[in-house]
Amino acid sequence: MISISNTAIPVDELRKQMAAPAAGGFCVFEGWVRNENEGREVQRLEYEVYEPLALTEGEKVLAEAQMKFPHIDAICVHRSGLLEIGDCAVWVGVSAAHRDEAFKACRYVIDEIKTRLPIWKKEHYVDGDSGWVNCERCANVAHRHTDPDTEGS
């Protein structure tokens, strides 16, 4: 199951949901908002999510994980909206009979979530600037359009 939340991810509740008699282990990945990226001080993050397709694609990822690693159970929650430093941005939990499947499936899910779901991350920097992650050249173009020193050049 995957969901998008615009409020804090309830990590303790999610962990309890993963408990199952057949589960011999549980692996979780939490992505946290950190205060630095590529040498720039980050003040907060903003996630834009196109929810209809993020959910559809996310369910595909979880189904793929269950095909590759049978007998696992997986939950993913991704944040939308404004997040502060230290907030949990994404939570992936996988329970399995054995640790190997739990680790591998958890890694598979977070890797696919990061590259396939229509989710965009805008960093707001301490210096007042902002930029879309993975779209530096796009951001440079946007800045040129708003910078009065270069506008019209």
Q: Return residues touching another protein (CB under 8 A).
A: 31, 47-48, 50, 52-54, 56-57, 78, 89-90, 110, 113-122, 132-135, 137-142, 145
Distance CA(119)–CA(79), nearest Å, equals 10
Q: Which of 116, 152, 122 minimizes the C-alpha distance to 138? A: 122
Identify which of residues 89 and 102 has a Cβ nearer to another protein in the complex.
89
How does DSSP assign 40-65, residue by residue? EEEEEEEEEE-HHHHHHHHHHHHHHH
Identify which of residues 97 and 104 has a Cβ nearer to another protein in the complex.
104
> Closest separation between CB of residue 36 and another protein, Å?
16
> Closest separation between CB of residue 14 and another protein, Å?
16
Identify which of residues 97 and 130 has a Cβ nearer to another protein in the complex.
130
> What tokens were used for 101?
């499947």
